[in-house]
Amino acid sequence: MRSISRLTTALAVAGALVATSSTSAHAGAIGSTPVRTFEYSVGGVTMKVPTGCMFTHVVRGSGRKITYQNAGVDCAFVAALGTGFCNWRIDFTYADTDNRTYRTSRGRTHSECKIDPMRNNSPQTLPRYGKACAHLHVNGVRRVSQCHHITK
């Protein structure tokens, strides 16, 4: 149900962005990256994340001002039936136009296993243009990233 709700929200945001006139100063971006299959060990038990999961990152705002930012995983088919992601966290990073990271918002590590990890980040104004990225870490290893360019 949560996956359907998140997909509906993403589609609604995408529709709103399309409907926004070209003279509007507001902008946003939605992007998804597939989570590749991987295995990891938790307490001596091998966990496997199968194909069928997408990591989605949403950014809304205007110029360097971010009014909303969210990232999370949606899984479908066989992947949705698995135990999910254990010891996970989602970080947000910000880099300048030379690709130098100048700010990281590190998420807390969640020890529970979750099929649909998600995190919101607080609104903020970036000191410079560049890119905003979201990164999913599982069991201490970065597994997938998704970025958006923040430009004039």
138 closest CA partner among 74, 77, 66, 48: 48
Distant-in-sequence, close-in-space partners of 83: CB < 8 Å, separation ≥ 6? 47, 113, 115
pTM score, whole prediction: 0.79
Q: Give per-residue pLDDT as tens, 74-98.
A: 988 765 666 789 999 999 999 999 9
pLDDT tens, residue by residue, 6-15: 443 443 334 4
Cα–Cα distance, 133 to 95 (Å, whole number): 8
The confidence score (pLDDT) of residue 75 equals: 87
For residue 121, pLDDT over 90 is answered with: yes
Structure tokens at 45: 């038990």
Note the pLDDT tens digit of each residue in 30-64.
Answer: 999 999 988 888 888 888 877 789 999 999 999 99
Instruction: Please give the C-alpha separations between residue 63 and each of 13, 95, 112, 125, 142, in angstroms, as whole numbers.
Output: 18, 15, 37, 9, 28
